[in-house]
Structure 1
Amino acid sequence: MKTVIHTAAAPAAIGTYSQAVRHGDLVFLSGQIPLDPATMEVVDGGIAAQVRRVFDNLSAVCEAAGGGLDNILKLNVFLTDMGDFPVVNEIMGEYFTQPYPARAAVGVAALPRGVVVEMEAVLAANA
């Protein structure tokens, strides 16, 4: 059985998907882009501001699912410029503590709304 997770503290879906879906003890978080949930606009301030907004959005969905960023088992990062990867690493260190989740970083040609970063995750709901 699957349960849909939704929170107004993260951007509403801009397509045919849920913010997250829980199945058993796992929660699958859809990709988050750097949208301000109040305005649904991309945040200003370059890559650092966009990465922080994505982590804030992921955190809000994790909290709605009954967990937090430290309950993330797997994090997938999509970047339009792999040169931004050091910024992701630095900011990730502000949001996560050890043991860190498994992670992949993938360079992509483009992302929705012209953003430079998107992240999706798998969360352990009862960790």
Structure 2
Amino acid sequence: MRITIDNPASAPRPLGPYSQVARVELDGGGALLYLSGQIAEGDGVAAQSRGIFETLSALLEAHGATLDDVINIRTFMTDLDGLPEYAAVRARFLTATPPTSTTVEVPRLFRPQALIEIDVVAAVPAP
């Protein structure tokens, strides 16, 4: 098993001292991608959600994957009243079979303006 941890140059830079992607090569081909939680700037849950999914898409693309390859998504929201807005944006970006999912309300995120944070795991098929 080989593990690569990086911050792809083709995606937005991380907002702190952490790596955005851990790639685990699987025996027999393919890989699992573990993406760090992402936040985005914007006014409101919908705008932040769009920005997050755009970043997630860029990170996945840098490793030969797309949002269709996501097998697990975890969402942290500071107010679940914004769930309908998030769900509408999520439905536009995640159009394949829905991945396994967890959504929880948290009192705050690491940046005061952040309303939502999302991390994903994706399975990259063997070439």
Give me the CA root mean square deviation.
1.5
Q: Which amino acid in the other structure matches residue 18 of structure 1?
A: S
C-alpha deviations, 1:57-94, integer Å up to 9, x for none? 11110101110001000000000001111111111111
Please say if residues 5 and 65 of structure 1, whose CA atoms lie closer than 8 Å, have aligned partners that are also in contact. Answer: no
Deviation at 1:23, TM superposition (A): 0.7
TM-score by length of 1: 0.86
Number of the residue aligned with 2:28: none
Number of matched pairs: 119
List, as ranges, runs of 4+ consecutive aligned residues in structure 1 with deviation greater than 6 Å. Answer: none
Deviation at 1:12, TM superposition (A): 1.8
TM-score by length of 2: 0.86
Worse-matched range after superposition: 90-99 or 12-21: 12-21
Unaligned runs of 5+ in 2: 26-30
In the TM superposition, 1:10-49 aligns within 5 A as: 10-24=11-25, 25-34=31-40, 42-43=41-42, 45-49=43-47
Q: Which amino acid in the other structure matches residue 59 of structure 2?
A: V
Paired with 1:98 and 1:47, the residues of 2 have a C-alpha distance of 22
Please say if residues 7 and 14 of structure 2, whose CA atoms lie closer than 8 Å, have aligned partners that are also in contact. Answer: no
Number of the residue aligned with 1:93: 91
Rg comparison, structure with higher value: 2
